[in-house]
Amino acid sequence: MDDESAIYAAQGFGNALGIGAAPGLVIVDFVNGFADPAHFGGGNIPDAIAATVPLLELARSNSWPVAMTRMVFADDGSDGNIFSAKVPSLRGLTETSHIGQIVPELAAEAGELIVRKRHPSAFFGTDLTQWLTARRVDTLIVAGCTTSGCIRASVIDAMCHGFRPVVVSNCVGDRALGPHEANLFDMGQKCADLMEFAAVADHFKG
């Protein structure tokens, strides 16, 4: 254990929440724009998208509730907010824009929820909490991007709403690896369990 991890452990951080009886999956913002370094992508996001394909298959084979998020702003920018003021290029993520569409390999199927949001968290200003609660979800398996932005915001809100967050560490990505790794560490200490896809699959085997 390194010195930083030892400090957290001595102060009581980093305990496991565990996976409950009723998991659900949320895939955050894996849209074309975040798969493309010319827009919002880069780093390890393409690898995370590829790793999420079997995770989505696992969720479907086990009949988990599945939700996917997109950032969606009005064509005329009339619903712009502080987030889009800070990052004006986000306004290009509109309902019909190519960059705002979920990547084809993770396209939603019937019965899966598409959450349209204008803030980092999948929960803020959406009905995701009610949708998950109606399906009795107690554990939220999380994939998507970016680790330091919308993943972190969604994981903190998931915890605040009473869900056990499990961040699938090789199924989340960021345009820069430094923020990715730092935020994985911090979420694992304070608000989520970290598991690679292989460990999640082993947990539900059989």
Query: Does some domain include residue 182?
Result: yes
Does residue 12 carry a pLDDT above 80?
yes
CATH number of the domain where residue 27 is located: 3.40.50.850
171 is annotated as an active-site residue = no
Domain span at residue 76 reads 21-203
- Kindly state the average pLDDT of the residues 156-167: 98
- DSSP string of 148-163, one letter each residue: IIIIHHHHHHHHHTT-
Query: Does some domain include residue 26?
Result: yes
Query: Does some domain include residue 140?
Result: yes
Cα gap 140→170, rounded to integer Å: 16
- DSSP string of 165-195, one letter each residue: EEEEEEEEE-SSHHHHHHHHHHHHHHT-EEE
pLDDT (tens digit per residue) in 71-112: 999 999 999 999 999 999 999 999 999 999 999 999 999 999
Number of domains in the chain: 1
Active-site residue (options: 150, 160, 171, 191): 150
Query: Does some domain include residue 60?
Result: yes
- Kindly state the average pLDDT of the residues 158-171: 98
Cβ atoms 75, 92 nearer than 8 A: no
What local confidence, expressed as pLDDT, does residue 206 receive? Answer: 61
Does residue 1 carry a pLDDT above 80?
no
pLDDT (tens digit per residue) in 107-132: 999 999 999 999 999 999 999 999 99
Give the predicted TM-score (pTM) of the model.
0.97
Hey, is 85 helix, strand or coil?
helix
